[in-house]
């Protein structure tokens, strides 16, 4: 996934959607972000920044390791959950911000996955 796709995924997960706010006389459309709870913002709720990616990480999860593996091979990272059952996820991306957002996505998916009767990991309902 690209950085843009990852930040869109996190916005939707958190209950945000883009809405048409105004059409200028020139025909240019102005979009805003609106949350399920009524909050609105002109700025993206998850900007393509390190702080934006950090805010996407689920509660209880922390960045454990992040390193640039080389100009041709991108970035590698892992996150660990310290509360409850200790869990760890790993991510690899083209740049630091994309890697951090991917790591947060994987942590969310792991956090909201459940084991079915056979013990296989299946997707659970994502929290908003």
Reported as a single tens digit per residue, the pLDDT across 44-72 is 999 999 999 999 988 888 877 777 776 65
DSSP string over 42-99:
SS-SS-SSHHHHHHHSPTTEEEEEEEEEETTTEEEEEEEE-SSS-EEEEEEESSHHHH
Question: Using alpha carbons only, what angle is made at residue 106 by residues 102 and 110, rounded to the nearest 5 degrees?
Answer: 170
Would you state the torsion angle of the CA atoms of residues 89, 68, 71, 53, taken in this order, to the nearest 10 degrees?
60
Question: Does residue 95 sit within a domain?
Answer: yes
The pTM assigned to this predicted structure is: 0.73
Q: What is the pLDDT of residues 89-127, one digit of tens each?
A: 888 877 888 888 998 998 888 887 754 544 444 443 333
Range of the domain at 51: 3-123
Which pLDDT score, from 0 to 100, does residue 70 have? 67
In a domain, 100, yes or no: yes
Q: Which residues lie below 8 Å from residue 63, measured CB to CB, with a gap of 6+? A: 54, 57, 77, 79, 100, 103
Q: Are 30 and 24 in contact (CB under 8 A)?
A: yes
Please give the pLDDT value at position 82: 65
Alpha-carbon Rg of the chain, whole angstroms? Answer: 17
Q: Of all residues in the chain, what percent carry a pLDDT higher than 90?
A: 36
- As for how many domains the chain has, the answer is 1
- Do the bridges between strand 74-81 and strand 87-93 make them parallel or antiparallel, or are there none, so unpaired? antiparallel
In a domain, 128, yes or no: no
- Residue, of 28 and 93, whose pLDDT is higher: 28
In a domain, 40, yes or no: yes
pLDDT at residue number 55 = 94
């Amino acid at each position: 996934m690209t950085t843009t796709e990852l930040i869109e995924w996190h916005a939707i997960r958190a209950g945000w959607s883009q809405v048409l706010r105004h059409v200028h006389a020139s025909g240019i459309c102005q979009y805003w972000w609106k949350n399920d709870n009524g909050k609105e913002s002109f700025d993206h709720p998850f900007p393509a920044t390190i702080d934006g990616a950090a805010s996407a990480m689920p509660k209880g999860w922390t960045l454990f390791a992040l390193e640039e593996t080389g100009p041709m091979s991108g970035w590698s990272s892992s996150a660990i959950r310290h509360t409850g059952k200790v869990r760890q996820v790993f991510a690899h991306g083209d740049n630091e911000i994309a890697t951090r957002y991917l790591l947060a996505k994987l942590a969310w998916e792991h956090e909201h996955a459940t084991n079915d009767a056979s013990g296989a990991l299946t997707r659970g309902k994502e929290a908003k």
